Amino acid sequence: MHTTQRAGPETGGMSRSQARDAEFTAYLAARQPSLLRTAYLLTGDRHQAEDVLQTALAKLYLSWDKVRDRAAVDGYARRILVNETTSLWRRPWKRREHATDRVPEGAPHHDAYDDGTGDALWQVVQTLPRRARAVVVLRYYEQLTEAETAEVLGITVGTVKSQTSRALATLRERTPAELDPREEER
Amino acid sequence: MTDHDTLETRLTRSLDQQATGLHDAPFGLDDVRGRARGIQRRRRALVAGATAAVVLAVAIPLGLAAGGRDDPRGVDPAPSPVLGRATVLHDGELTRPDGSTLPVPYDDVDEVATLGDGRTVLMLQRRAVVLDATGAEQASYPVAVNLLTAGREDRTVAWVGEGNRVQVLEAGRPEPVTLAAVPESELGLSMVEVVNGDECAPDSCRVTVGDGNAITYDVYPDEVVPTELDLPFTSIDDVNARGDLWTVALPTRDGEQHPCVATYHAVDQAVVAQTCATSGLRFSPDEQHLLGMRGDNSMYGELTVLDADLRPVLTWAPEGDLAISSAAWSDDTHLDVAVVDPDTSEWSLVRVALDGGSEVLEGPAPGGNPEAGPDYVFAD
């Protein structure tokens, strides 16, 4: 059954669903590039990033009316995005995925000045397990606090601390010696 | 600037550099709505499939009942097997092995452990709560790490308390014994690996702790001693009833996400058997088998049962895209397994036999986000 709703003054003459879609479209325009960047850092692959972003946006669209606090939408979207990314292993085509030292293909080229340190560290980040990579991206790219990171990932602050610590230890172990800050001091 | 700060700064700069070039918005409203319709279709199909599974599970016992002793058709049914059950917390109620239940009016219970005197210990956010046998809160203790470690045969429960001081609550003793404080670890949070022995009297208690990367200290009431042995493992997952056989995680090699695991004889100080097929080994009650699971994101794709020599006996996975959230031995030959649909957060409790057979005990029913933790919390 198709129903139409009478336009109310709060929707400026549009039906509620039209107003909802307009609001969501504005959100897409404003926030999609930022979410795409986060998705790329989480997956390390442009195609996978777009896949999880589209699914995350679709889930956000389905829940749009439930997210009453518009200021909280970004956090909600980020949570869906991270969940989508860290759950990739469950899908049949990723079921055998495991942490690897090989760098995924499909990384975009950047013109930003880089003395080699950034790319080397990024390559090591991509070898981290997805959960650990999510913690790293949220803490050091999104600049979330430990409490905010815990909220997004649905884990305790203690787990964020331990995962961060282990991820940093792993990065330190796997960073090429010439790029390790400790080597510069020797 | 410290080494730690330098690495973090470089990490932030590296991530910024990698993401800088991405400015586009590839999806319009129609793209999003199209994917949303697909998700809705899949959710409806999953609900329909789940309903069919419940009907099948109910139909089996009804069929058996039709052949009872008073049935004029005279079919003598096989006696119902006497099955144990794992202690599990679900939906605010703790169900014990004898079937008795206890209301547990707390949200966000991370872990549960039971003591032989009828008390229950819950790990909540930053505090351990002790319930008496009726479920009333007896005491609450602040903790440094949200982890409980149960001792052998429900004799003790331990945690790292305020100020990194280890606390051990023993069955029959009203208050926990507080041991010395564990030094801060650079690599991880200190956690109790094993409570040695059956008792924790104030003058004779020894607890071994680790930080997830190594076994670090033996902790006594008044001192902390670095572990002397060069132990070949990084953490202890379970201990048998005699206390001499441990299941342990071996150090991960480069590129490995999951560690190989082993059984370790604590008296002989030797690895008995090892496997890289699964992780987190748990002894069955009769210690003839071990349960292992390997996964990520608080979920597991399959469970594996091994014999005492760590040879595979059973690999079991739920159908389709369902995942395992948690599992525990219910008796010598059965496991209780919490199964969840990650997309819809529909939860079921399934009993799995070592012969591979399975039966849905509860659900599917809506529940929480599995990535935030299991809806069925089995006792440690």
Written as one string, the DSSP assignment of B143-208 is BSSS--EE-GGGSEEEEEBGGGEEEEEETT-SSPEEEEEPPPPSSS--EEEEEESS---TTS-EEE
First to last CA, chain A: 75
Q: Can you give the CATH number for the domain in which A130 is found? A: 1.10.10.10
Whether residues A148 and A82 share a domain: the answer is: no
- What was the pLDDT predicted at A177? 61
pLDDT of residue B283: 94
Rounded Cα distance, B73 and B137, in Å: 53
Residues A21 and A90 in one domain: yes
- Give, in degrees to the nearest 5, the angle at Cα B65 between B63 and B70: 130
What confidence category does residue A112 fall into, taking pLDDT thresholds of 50, 70 and 90?
A: very low
Using a 10 angstrom Cβ sphere, with 0-12 exposed, 13-18 middle and 19 or more buried, the burial of residue A137 is buried
Cis peptide before A92 (omega within 30 of 0): no
Q: Is residue A138 part of a domain?
A: yes
Residue A104 lies in a domain: no
CA B107 to chain centre: 18
The pair of three-digit structure tokens given for residue B156, joined into one six-digit string: 């003790």
Find which of A137, A153, A162 to mutate to test the B interface (most B CBs within 10 Å of its CB): A162
Hey, what's the torsion of the CAs at B275, B278, B284, B287, to 10 degrees? Answer: 10
Mean pLDDT of the A138-157 span: 85
Taken in order B15, B18, B22, B27, is the CA torsion positive or negative? negative
Beta bridge partners of B338: B326, B349
The answer to the question of residue A99 being in a domain is no
Both structure tokens of A4: 């139409």
Same domain, A81 and A122: no
- Contact: B12, A121; criterion CB under 8 Å: no
The partner residue sitting opposite A41, judged by closest CB among B3, B15, B186, is: B15
d(CA B275, CA A84): 31
| One domain, residues A30 and A63 | yes
Q: Is the dihedral of CA B58, B103, B153, B180 positive or negative?
A: positive
Report helix, strand or coil for B374. Answer: coil
CA distance A128 to chain B (A): 8
Q: Which of B289, B292, B288, B287 minimizes the C-alpha distance to B302? A: B292
Residue A109 resides in a domain: no
Percent of chain A with pLDDT strictly greater than 90: 16
Who has greater pLDDT, A114 or B66?
A114
Residues B314, B335: contact at Cβ < 8 Å? no
Say how far apart CA A79 and CA A85 lie, in whole Å.
10
Residue with tokens 């597991």: B300
Question: Which residues are within 8 A (CB) of B204 and not within 5 positions of it... i.e. 6 or more apart?
Answer: B197
Q: How many domains does chain A have?
A: 2
Q: Which segments of chain A does DSSP mark as H helices, in order?
A: 16-43, 46-62, 73-86, 117-125, 130-140, 146-153, 157-174, 181-184
Q: Quick one: B30 exposed, middle or buried, by C-beta within 10 A (0-12, 13-18, 19+)?
A: exposed
Residue B85: which of B350, B379, B329 has the closest Cα? B329
Mutate to test the interface with A, among B3, B5, B22, B110 (most CBs of A within 10 A): B22
Specify the pairing of strand B206-210 against strand B215-219: antiparallel
Per-residue confidence band for A56, with pLDDT thresholds at 50, 70 and 90:
confident
Q: What is the CATH number of domain B237-380?
A: 2.130.10.10
User: Quick check: B212 and B188 in contact, CB under 8 A?
Assistant: yes
In a domain, A82, yes or no: yes
Stretch 303-342 of chain B: residues touching chain A, C-beta under 8 Å = 321, 323, 342
Residue of A36, A99, A162 lying closest to B212 (CB–CB): A162
pTM: 0.56
Domain span at A140: 114-186
Which pLDDT score, from 0 to 100, does residue A14 have? 66
Q: State the 10-residue block means of pLDDT for chain B, 380 residues long.
A: 66 89 88 80 48 33 30 33 73 89 87 92 91 93 88 87 91 91 74 81 80 84 81 87 87 71 88 91 94 78 92 90 90 93 89 92 88 84
| φ and ψ at residue A123, rounded to 5 degrees | -60, -35
Q: Pseudo-torsion of CA A133, A136, A142, A145, nearest 10°?
A: 130
Q: Which stretch of DSSP H or E encloses residue B343?
A: none
Give the chain B residue whose CA is nearest to the CA of A181: B3
pLDDT for res A110: 46
Chain centroid, CA B259 distance in Å = 17
Q: How far is CA B162 from CA A20, A178, B59, B178, in A?
A: 49, 41, 52, 10
Q: What stretch of H or E contains B24?
A: none
Q: A137–B258: do the CB atoms touch at under 8 Å?
A: no
**Helices A146-153 and A73-86: angle between axes, nearest 10 degrees:** 60
Contact B209, B231 (CB under 8 A): no
Q: Which pLDDT score is estimated for B114?
A: 92
Amino acid at A168: L
Which residues does chain B have within 8 Å of residue A36's beta carbon, measured at their own beta carbons?
22, 24-26
Q: Which two tokens stand for residue A183?
A: 């080597």
Domains of chain B, by residue range, sit at: 32-80, 115-228, 237-380
**Å between B142 CA and nearest CA of chain A:** 13
The tokens for A54 are 């589209």
Q: What is the pLDDT of residue B166?
A: 93
Determine the distance in angstroms separating the CA of B191 from the nearest CA of chain A, rounded to an integer. 11
A103 in a domain, yes or no? Answer: no
ipTM: 0.78
Enumerate the H helices of B66-103 as residue ranges.
none
CB B274 within 8 A of CB B261: yes
> In this predicted model, which residue has the larger pLDDT, B182 or A89?
B182
Residues A158-181, mean pLDDT to the nearest whole number: 77
Residues A26 and A65 in one domain: yes
Q: How much is the pLDDT for B51?
A: 36
Question: In this structure, are A68 and A27 located in the same domain?
Answer: yes
Token readout for A49 is: 């990033």
> Which residues of chain B are within 8 Å of residue A129 when distances are taken between CB atoms?
257, 296
State the Cα–Cα distance between residues B118 and B192, nearest whole angstrom.
22
Together in a domain, A151 and A89: no
In a domain, A1, yes or no: no
Spacing of C-alpha B18 from chain mean position: 37
The whole-number pLDDT of residue B175 equals 93
